Structure 1
Amino acid sequence: MRWRVAGRLVAGAVVLGLLAFGFRELVSARGFQLFGDLTERVETSEKVVALTFDDGPHPASTAEVLDVLREKRVPGTFFLIGRDLAAHPELGRRIAGEGHEIGNHTYSHERMVFVTPGFVAGEIERTDSLIRATGFRGEITVRPPHGKKFLALPHYLAEHHRRTITWDVEPNSSAAVDADPARIVEHVVRHVRPGSIVLLHPHYPSGRNSRDSLGPMIDRLRDQGYRFTTVSGLG
């Protein structure tokens, strides 16, 4: 009898462990959410790619990124943090004025996991207002900080017919790759596919390597026949 009870306890512990593992994976899943539309890449045979830039704007970095994009004649999608945009509205106006797309990266950059509906509404709507103040008039897509988006955020976006945008190429996620601009370029060139969304973190002083990689990355992808567009331009 004791062996039978012990066996049931072990089986129950295994089931609970698997459920906990599955729940953790669900919370962390970048390519899945319970509500609404999510895009991490667009299925297409056309060699088109979207370069996206998270965080900022910041005076230590944003102007340099914009200078490279202007020189190379490449449109980008900037997922901006509301508090940074409030601090540097002139940079937001420049991003919009030069024809780039602006997305919402929340106001405070908190992980959107187990937060209240009211908190989500405030984070998104405050940032939307700041984005509109830049002069940007296109669709405002949303990228959750760190890709975390469990329950309240997807539900809010679904109710408001808004899109969640993640990514399928992220060189900065590897410390070894992120440490060297040349490795960043090689990682992106090796992993990009038609319809890819590339995530870069070029803002703030810490984004130096991403900024240095941007021009060579554009040149290499163009050499491979890729055309650049915004996230909304992918379709």
Structure 2
Amino acid sequence: MRTFRSPARNPWSGRQIAAAGHEIGNHSYTHRRLVFVTPATVREEVEKTDKQIRATGFSGAITFRPPYGKKLYGLPRYLASHDRITVMWDVEPDSEGPRTREAIVEETVSRVHPGSIILLHVMYSSGRESISAIPEISQRLQGQGYRFVTVSQLLATPCR
């Protein structure tokens, strides 16, 4: 799932991503922590980004990933009242300072389990390392029998 804080910054890219059939999730408009904010702030952060996502041509369900993974009463309440799904992650190998490609690969492969969601921050200073780690992560996990699916496919998979 590709998340957008503001597809308006690069609408052409958003349209390309949607046209290629990828899922697009909401990550808020300003990327602020949505805790201890008013209900109006939560609504504005979600709805402004939803509008921009729809402008890309994406017509699927828009899931929400909270900035920094922070969620407290107001955000979950808003999302639940609008039948929205919150998507979190359980493997985040590149967030703690500069990491080498090898370290990103090893941490990812060692922490993944069935149903894992891997979060990579390709926009950070270590982004090149994260991007270069993807082929080996993919190869090694597929070699262990894993397959990569969209968030919608993952959510539709019955728990075992």
> TM-score scaled by structure 1?
0.63
1:124 correspondence with 2:46: yes
1:109 correspondence with 2:31: yes
**Residue 63 (structure 2) aligns with:** 141
**Residue 80 (structure 1) aligns with:** 4
Distance (Å, rounded) in 2 between the aligned partners of 1:198 and 1:220: 14
Aligned pairs for 1:15-164 within 5 A = 77-82=1-6, 85-164=7-86
Aligned pairs for 1:180-191 within 5 A = 180-191=100-111
**Residue 229 (structure 1) aligns with:** 149
User: 1:120: Cα distance to partner?
Assistant: 0.6
Distance (Å, rounded) in 2 between the aligned partners of 1:86 and 1:166: 24
Q: Choose from 115, 131, 150 the match for 1:211.
A: 131
Q: Choose from 170, 173, 191 the match for 2:95.
A: 173
Q: Residues 95 and 121 of structure 2 are in contact (CA less than 8 Å); yes or no, is this contact kept in structure 1?
A: no
> TM-score scaled by structure 2?
0.91
Distance (Å, rounded) in 1 between the aligned partners of 2:115 and 2:125: 30
- Percent identity between matched residues is 54
Count how many residue pairs are aligned between Structure 1 and Structure 2.
155
Distance (Å, rounded) in 1 between the aligned partners of 2:75 and 2:38: 9
**What letter corresponds to residue 180 of structure 1 in structure 2?**
T
Distance (Å, rounded) in 1 between the aligned partners of 2:124 and 2:106: 23
What SS does the corresponding residue of 1:79 show, helix, strand or coil?
A: strand
Structure with the larger strand share? 1
User: 1:204: Cα distance to partner?
Assistant: 5.5
Distance (Å, rounded) in 2 between the aligned partners of 1:204 and 1:163: 26
Distance (Å, rounded) in 2 between the aligned partners of 1:152 and 1:212: 38
Q: Residues 94 and 126 of structure 2 are in contact (CA less than 8 Å); yes or no, is this contact kept in structure 1?
A: no
User: 1:174: Cα distance to partner?
Assistant: 3.1
Q: Which has the higher contact order (CA 8 A, sep 6+)?
A: 1
Distance (Å, rounded) in 1 between the aligned partners of 2:18 and 2:102: 29
Distance (Å, rounded) in 1 between the aligned partners of 2:88 and 2:32: 16
Distance (Å, rounded) in 2 between the aligned partners of 1:135 and 1:206: 31
Distance (Å, rounded) in 2 between the aligned partners of 1:95 and 1:192: 26
User: 1:224: Cα distance to partner?
Assistant: 1.2
Structure with the larger helix share? 1
